[in-house]
Amino acid sequence: MLQWVSGIAATIPLAGLLFITVILVVWAIPAIVYSGFTVLTNDRFFIGNFYSTNFSSVNGVIAPFHASYGALTFIIGTLSSSLIALVLAVPISVGGVLMLSEWIPRQLEGPLSTFLELLAGIPSVVFGFWGLTVFGPFLGVHVFPALSHLGVVLPFFKGSWAYNGQGLLTASLVLTLMIIPIIASTTRQLVKRVPVLASEGALALGMTKYEVVRVVTIPYVRTGIIASALLGWGRALGETIAVLLIIGMANNPPANIYGTTSTLASTIAADLDSALSDGTGMALRAMAMLGLLLLIMSLITNLTGRLVVRRISSDALPVGRGV
Amino acid sequence: MNVRRHASIGFAVVTGALLASACGSTSTVTAPPTSAAASASSTPTAAAVQTGNPAAAQTLSEAGSSLLYPYLQKLAPGVNAAFPNITLTPAAGGSGTGQSEALSGTIDLGGSDAYLSAAQVTANPGALNIPIAVSAQAINYNLTGITNLKLSGSVIAQIYEGSITTWNNSAIVALNPGVTLPSTPIIPIRRSDSSGDTFIFTSFLSATNPTWSSGPSFGTTVSWPTVTSELTASGNPAMVDTLHSTPGGIAYVGVSVEGAALVDGLGEVDLENASGSYVQPDTTTITAAVTAGATNVPASLAAPLIYETGAQAYPIVNFEYLIINPSKITSSDTALAVRTFIEWAISSTGGATTDNLNAVGFVPLPTTVIPLVNTAVAQIAG
């Protein structure tokens, strides 16, 4: 009996993933047949004119008039917003945790790490609301004008922005805040597990605290950091409501780093209700296709991460590899 | 070893069950709707509608349009007081949700700002659009010191297309002689979520601007032209908030939240109607539009009340619908409850009181449409 229960329990996650994937694939097939490879190359996504008496027919699939299911805009939006967030969040989290564990007095460590965990508990809609009403307008009025002056030195900061800050960079910054707790709390657990013997030995050899961190701590936690960064990336890829409120939901790739665009997840949330009133049912298939693309992206990032971790980790204690 | 073998059996059982249910559900979806065909044969003959308190307690589930939702919340206690065996449970969720759940029979009544498309009616023969009230939409702007700005649908379409970009554009100046307009950039604000307000707004743009009509056209979600200065907001209250914080902005807002927009000090556009006069949405102008539009409402009741003629007629007006799929209503008691609720809701002595309607800025159905509604309601037989 116990064997059965544990067998079923062990299977549920895998079966769940398989179930969702099969559903998404089966649902998405007509939309994929309709669009072909242009799904990945066309940046025009439109669920079509439901009230037109005409219909679009491609490869035998009938969809509403003018329907176009190119997902390139959303792929670019999803990747760019999550990657910017990741690039910012990893150094902030790792630096913060090292600071917390090595230099900040023990009495402060507890309260500070509690704050970190509280940050993880803020619901994403609150982040979205704050980003829309407070943070975005602040960036748009005070920060982006200064940043755009940096464009002389760093060309990717050039460009115009929305007055209320809606767009890619604001969304990425809010995503950064959302994934910092994920990366930081995992990193903190790892740093705590660095063998005291190794770091104290290094200190005894006359290394400075900075050298101990560089030569002992960081090599020891490196693979773990990559794994936690991937967790954070996964969260950023799939974040829906905060991005929906902040990124501007434009139907085009961002014109510049401040530009408005949309992501896969936010588009599903925004357009699902309209898709439900499509008499041909194809709009729902297109939504499933976007979901499938998002699932594939998360799987790829996850598997790549695992490969990276396997490549750089070995059985030998990694201490000293940074020397 | 033994444990592993049993575990793998467990795996097979769970996976098999899930996959079987997956295939089952998808094949139901792809199959053509056959059960709905039965109700198509019932032809409307008599307009006399049987109503009354059902013998057993009936709960009418409603979901859909967030614009209609507050009105139905107002009606729920009233209908229960008049007919103790009828309980209305309204919920929001969006017009698309209302349409699809009513068509599939998940709920009894689907609230929708938009009528069903021809493709939906083909897929669900016998499905009904039943208007229960009339709503409208205001166009608001944020320009300090400028009141009674006059705009036409064609100019607004050009703003949302990105071809008119500043407030002192000659096309806007021409509509507002004697008004000094600033050179501020125009920031068009639109809904980011699926919305009945987008449906009626884009219907208006399509009716007044041929380029818009052949381009983005109309729908609860449209393919908006790329305008770099454009902002988006999710929901009517957010439209008002975003417009409030955006000098030079323009936005479309459902009348039920227009009060909030005006309290906020935002300007309300005088819209050019089909007869060339400029009007703001109020009971008089909305009623004028719906009276004009009521003369050519088809039996399907799928009628846009957009850009109607008449000196007083406000150009962005729409029916608020309940979508009903009679073939999914199998119990005669439920059918009686649905008919009774609708007849009560459209009656001026029932739900359509001035108090109820004014609370959300709606106006009652025109009397000429009531017989058509009765004919449609009579088809809900159970």
Q: Hey, are the CB atoms on B217 and A49 less than 8 Å from each other?
A: yes
B105/A142 Cα distance (integer angstroms): 52
In the predicted model, is pLDDT for residue A241 greater than 90? yes
* Amino acid occupying residue B356: N
10-residue mean pLDDT series, chain B (382 residues): 48 46 37 36 54 93 91 94 95 89 94 92 93 95 93 97 95 95 95 91 96 92 89 89 92 88 89 95 93 91 92 95 94 94 95 92 92 94 80
pLDDT value for A223: 84
**Contact between chains at A10 and B7 (C-beta distance less than 8 A):** yes
**How does DSSP classify residue A135?**
I
Q: Which two tokens stand for residue A320?
A: 């000293």
The CA distance from B64 to B130, in Å, is: 14
Q: Evaluate whether B103 touches B120 at the Cβ level (below 8 Å).
A: yes
Who among A6, A132, A274 is closest to B194 (CB)? A274
Could you write out the three-class secondary structure of A230-281? HHHHHHHHHCCHHHHHHCECCCCCCCCCCCCECCHHHHHHHHHHHHHCCCCC
The DSSP bridge pattern shows strands B150-151 and B270-272 to be parallel
Asked if A250 lies within 8 A of B117 by C-beta distance, the reply is no
How many angstroms separate the CA of residue B115 from the nearest CA in chain A? 10
Q: What is each CA distance from B205 to A19, A202, B133, B271, B278, in whole angstroms?
A: 44, 73, 23, 12, 16
Residues B135-170 pLDDT 10s: 999 999 999 999 999 999 999 999 999 999 999 999
Residue A196 has pLDDT above 80, yes or no: yes
Contact assignment for A8 to B22 by CB distance below 8 Å: no
Are the C-beta atoms of residues B290 and B305 closer than 8 Å to each other?
Answer: yes
Using the predicted structure, report yes or no on whether residue A319 has a pLDDT greater than 90: no
In chain A, residues with a C-beta closer than 8 Å to the C-beta of B228 are 160, 255, 259
Distances in whole angstroms, Cα of residue B148 to Cα of each of A142, B37, B137, B279:
33, 52, 16, 10
A vs B, Cβ pairs < 8 A, gives: 173
Distance CA B381, CA B42 (A): 9
A269 to chain B: closest CA residue: B193
Q: B120 and A277 in contact by Cβ < 8 A? A: yes
Which residues does chain A have within 8 Å of residue B221's beta carbon, measured at their own beta carbons?
47, 270-271, 274
Residues in chain B, total = 382
CA distance B253 to B140: 7
A42 part of contact set with chain B, CB < 8 Å: no
DSSP string, B281-337: -SHHHHHHHHHHHHTT--TT----EES--STT--SEEEEEEEEE-GGG---HHHHHH
Higher pLDDT, B180 or A316: B180
Would an 8 Å CB–CB cutoff place A57 in contact with chain B? no
**B119, A55: Cβ pair inside 8 Å?**
yes
CB within 8 Å: B96 and A133 = no
